[in-house]
Chains A and B, each alone.
Chain A
């Protein structure tokens, strides 16, 4: 990679920015954990979007007969 061996270019080397006691397997397992959680979340997200598209808008939605869910601050 172009920026190697710098973490902050010209200021901090990657070797100096490493966690002192962190082993490669430990770093790898945390990476795998993050990937696993993201795959889990993304697959569900995709599934919900797919279902929304499949069902399409309904008449009931327009009349807002469906009970509203709990309020979220939106995102």
Chain B
């Protein structure tokens, strides 16, 4: 049973990283062009699928919370800062995506929020991957790395390389 749940978790994480990585990459690439036509084309490529892709993150959270509560509690405590920054980024980019159509005069603000939100979410995901690859510090089953223990050389490097990879993924799949 545990094996099944862990495989399910692995599948949903993988699908999320691949599918939403593409959305986030497009969000970051939006800053590379000033042409409204290009930006609209870019947003059109993800317009129909990004909600669905982000649902895999919800599935991941749900499996963790429902099936592996100890992992959920431990990891989310350890990843306090990255998770919160990631959520704020996802909130910003989701809303600016929906607001953009309604706001002909504030496209620049929506695009800015979209790019910044995408970058923040993506970078923090990379940081979390880096932390998982490394040894997380635990004492008595509780994370002991401190609030900003999430950010060390290795995890930040992972964040940067993950972000670059994502941008590459979006660029390539275009």
Contact = CB atoms under 8 A, between A and B. Distances in A.
Given A19-B77, A19-B80, A22-B80, A70 B91 contact: no
B143 A72 contact: no
Interface in A24-56: 26, 30, 33-34, 37-38, 41, 44-45, 48, 52
B57 to A, nearest CB: 16
A73 interface: yes
A40 to B, nearest CB: 8
Interface string B60-93: 0000000000000100010010001000100110
A61 interface: no
Nearest to B105: A51
Interface residues of A, number: 23
B44 A70 contact: yes
Contacts of B48: 71-73
Interface of B: 40, 43-44, 47-52, 73, 77, 80, 84, 88, 91-92, 95, 97-103, 106, 142-147
